Amino acid sequence: MAAASSVARRYAAAYFDLAKEAGDIAAWRDELAAVAEALSADEVAEAVINPKLPLAERTRLGLQLLDGVAEPARNLARLLIERRRSALLREILTHYDSLADQEAGVVRAEVTAAVPVDRKLEHAITEALASRLGRSVETTVRSDPAIVGGLVIRIGDRVIDDSVRTHLQQLQAALA
């Protein structure tokens, strides 16, 4: 997975650089998403990597599904099909999104609460995180009763775990 991630990161960076140069990061992202969607269907994904089909046939098949997609995205798809790396498309899209967020100065945070959170509290959490981080924050909030109370916040590879479950586990470990 680490090797695949490294390869996907390089493809995403190259595609992102071209999008940035063209001055339309959002539109290029949409095109990349369309390619990922079209080539990720099970039957298509299997066909474009099937060694029994000639390369020209696999490429033609994949590109046929991308009618209306901009040329740079089609070129990336062609390259990935030819190198049997089309399975990396979702991962490339994820890395592209990270680069776009970085460029825009946006941080994504996943917030887990024990109970469903209303819009007002979600806004307060987002504002508190933005203030603390000094950057714009986009939050995704979900509920998980298993944490009992409090919040678990994931920002990239950082985790802020102030859940009751974790406090109870720490208390149990201290008493053992």
Rounded distance between C-alpha atoms, residue 158 and residue 153, angstroms = 8
Provide the 3-class DSSP secondary structure of residue 38: helix
Burial classification of residue 11, based on how many CB atoms lie within 10 Å of its CB (0-12 exposed, 13-18 middle, 19 or more buried): buried
pLDDT digits (tens, 9 = 90+) for 25-49: 999 999 999 999 999 888 888 888 8
How many angstroms from the chain centroid is the CA of residue 32?
A: 12
Amino acid at 115: V
pLDDT digits (tens, 9 = 90+) for 69-111: 999 999 999 999 999 999 999 999 999 999 999 999 999 999 9
Handedness of CA 120, 125, 131, 133 (dihedral sign): negative
**Same structural domain for residues 47 and 111?**
no
Q: What is the CATH number of the domain that holds 147?
A: 3.30.910
Q: Considering 68, 101, 134, which residue would you say is the last residue of a domain?
A: 101
Q: Considering 101, 135, 163, which residue would you say is the last residue of a domain?
A: 101
Question: Does residue 142 surpass a pLDDT of 60?
Answer: yes
Q: What is the end-to-end Cα distance of the chain in Å, rounded?
A: 38
Q: Considering 69, 101, 133, which residue would you say is the last residue of a domain?
A: 101
pTM of the model: 0.76
Rounded distance between C-alpha atoms, residue 153 and residue 151, angstroms = 6
Q: What is the CATH number of the domain that holds 10?
A: 1.10.520.20
- Structural domain span for residue 112: 107-175
| Paired strand residues for 150 | 163
Decide the pairing of beta strands 106-113 and 136-143.
parallel
